[in-house]
A and B are shown apart, each in its own frame.
Chain A
Amino acid sequence: MLATFLAQTAATTPIPDVAWSSFAPELPPTITALVLLLVAVARRRQLLVAVPTALLAVAAGVWLIASGETPGALVVPGAVAIVLGILAPALVVATRGRTSLLAAWAAAASLVAALVLTVWQYLTVLTPDGPTLVPQLAMADAIANDGIAVFTRLVVYLSALLVIPLGYGYLQDRRINRAEVEPLLLLAVVGMAALGSANDLITLFIALELLSLALYVLAGLARRDRRSQEASLKYFVTGSVASAILLFGMALIYVATGTVTLPEIGAAVGLVTTPRFVAAIGLALITVGIGFKVALAPFHLWTPDVYQGAPTNVTAFMAAGTKAAGFAAALRLYLVAFPDLEALWVPVLAVLAALTMLYGAFLAVVQHDVKRILAYSAISHAGFATIGLVANSDAGLSATLWYLLTYAVSTLTAFGCVIVLERRRRGEVTLADLRGVGRSAPAIAGILAFALLSLAGIPITAGYVGKLVVFEAGIEAGFTWLVLVGVLASVVAAFFYLRIAGMMFLEDSPEPVEGPYPSFGLSVGVTVSAALVLYLGIQPELLLRLATDAGVLAR
């Protein structure tokens, strides 16, 4: 219904100012993050912050609707601003001083607003007439507004929206639901979205650091839990070193080409006057940095520790969001800036992908902690997503984007179930703890098994369609050996996914187990994400077409 409304608006109104609309979806989460920090500072005088915010937002909304060269072009963003403005004091009154609940609802509202603006932007700006996507550059070529950007926005905003209800009860239980949680989550998600649309090295670096810095703090959220602290420190050290290496690579690219804009780099790398050796070293360092961020095989060593130690909802967000954003940046970087060096990066990334898939799958088999198993599965999935990247084609690009969406919903469902079980156990969940869960909590065990089947790539789940599309792109590009390695890794992976399911349903617990305590938010979050896994598995056409359309780059 919303989509048809937006489509009608799109058909009747001209294209709004591109420079401004290119980052419109990022504005509500950013502003909400800042306002929420103010609300936390204001303590009991929350209305003192909420009322001026509301007035400003409504005024901005009215101005947006009334202004513009053609009246009515900006109805949707104006309406979004007005609704958010009215929500601000309403939420403060409704939550009656419970800051964490207020923050959760406000963050969710801003993410919904971001999703609405993303759809609006897609329909009015990017596809002004008909289904063909028109990529655009904005802000002096610093931001590219194209298929990758839109699709990444969809994935990361959706993941963040699902993580908020999943995390609320969990953080409350562990008494770590402090005021900075939602602002940091929102800033991280803005960084991810910006990473998907960054078209020059400076923007790319800033976006990467924005999401990384927020996630370092989120990983160490449990200040009294030494595992969380250790995870945070490890993430910080490895992440900063990776950033520095990536940055040195960018500097070398600038030395070689004299520009920081990705399309101009792409043009300059092909010139005879450009020192290819320097550019190649820069590319190698950039590959190492990106490999760290998305956890490709030789650079993945931080992943299991950080995923295991961080609070589970943060882990879920890292797995779903960071991977999507990191791959979006990698796709743009390699396909736009380095098409002339493809003889170098395609074989290297192919080998890394094979290594990653096998390594993740084989090491997951010997793990006992469920979060750690899912961490190794995350590593393995990064390898699968890389197949689309090495395919080095528009089909491969769409395949990777699509794969990341399917992986995001599957892994969010799995981690959501782990949160429910962890709540019951009040501690880590090992494989042995899963015995008998199928009897004591059939619903949650069923959903977890379903999510694991999706991660393994069994038909009627999202993961199956994801793997299918990626393998197809790989074979088309002539990487049959890589696809065969992928199939082998899937078989190994299926073993440990099914072992978890078998533990839950086939074995009995030695002591009687209590039922799980799902909260309202957890039930909603897990149900919605499981429904998405099923929906993408049996009705993939709509979003798959969107991913296919997204395979057009702003060059």
Chain B
Amino acid sequence: MEIGYYYAVSALLFTIGFVGVLLRRNAIVLFMCIELMLNSVNLTLAAAARMWGGPDGQVFVFFVIVVAAAEVVVGLALIVNLFFRRGTLDVDVPQLLRY
């Protein structure tokens, strides 16, 4: 199959994730959008690794998966603590830090 399709799908996923980060205000959904962006990168790398035939891209994918897992741990901990402090997951509600 044409490799361009894989790139097109991953670019689409990345765009969906990025737009989601910009538009959605729920912390969990925001977080899922970031994960979507990371996974679109994985798809690109896997497809490119297939195209080039070397191991580099696949190794990179494994590292991205590990880092994404670590990011989930930190991110969810922050979000849970935020929920206990404020009782809401809306990231826009209390803005204490501004001019």
Contact = CB atoms under 8 A, between A and B. Distances in A.
A351 interface: no
Contacts of B21: 237, 241
Interface stretch (A56-64, A227-235, A383-391, A522-530): A227-235
A209 B67 contact: yes
A251 B40 CA distance: 10
A318 to B, nearest CB: 15
Interface size class of B (residues with CB under 8 A): 35 or more
A229 B97 contact: no
A302 to B, nearest CB: 10
A248 B40 contact: yes
A251 B41 contact: yes
Contact of B82 (A233, A244, A247): A233
A259 B98 contact: no
Nearest to B33: A241
Interface residues of A, number: 41
A485 interface: no
B73 to A, nearest CB: 9
A247 B41 contact: yes
Contact of B48 (A220, A230, A234, A251): A251
Interface string A206-234: 10010001001100100110110111111
A233 B95 CA distance: 12
Main secondary structure, interface of B, reads helix
A205 B66 CA distance: 12
A309 interface: yes
B22 to A, nearest CB: 9
The majority secondary structure among interface residues of chain A is: helix
B45 A251 contact: yes
A223 B97 contact: no
B16 interface: no
Contacts of A237: 21, 30, 34, 91
Contact of B81 (A223, A227, A251, A254): A223
A255 B44 contact: yes
Contacts of A251: 41, 44-45, 48, 60
A258 interface: yes
A236 B56 contact: no
Contact of A213 (B7, B17, B70): B70
B97 A308 contact: yes
Contact of A240 (B34, B45, B97): B34
Nearest to B38: A244
A285 to B, nearest CB: 10
Interface in B41-99: 41, 44-45, 48, 51-52, 54, 56-57, 59-60, 63-64, 67, 70-71, 74-75, 77-79, 81-82, 85-86, 91, 94-99
Nearest to B98: A305
A269 interface: no
Given A233-B91, A248-B14, A202 B60 contact: yes
A399 to B, nearest CB: 33
Contacts of A224: 85
Q: Which 4 A-B pairs give the minimum distances between C-beta atoms? A: A244-B37, A258-B52, A305-B97, A251-B44
Given A244-B34, A260-B60, 9 more contacts: A202-B56, A205-B60, A216-B74, A226-B94, A233-B27, A233-B91, A236-B78, A244-B37, A259-B56
10 contacts: A229-B85, A230-B96, A237-B30, A240-B34, A251-B44, A258-B48, A258-B51, A304-B97, A305-B97, A308-B97
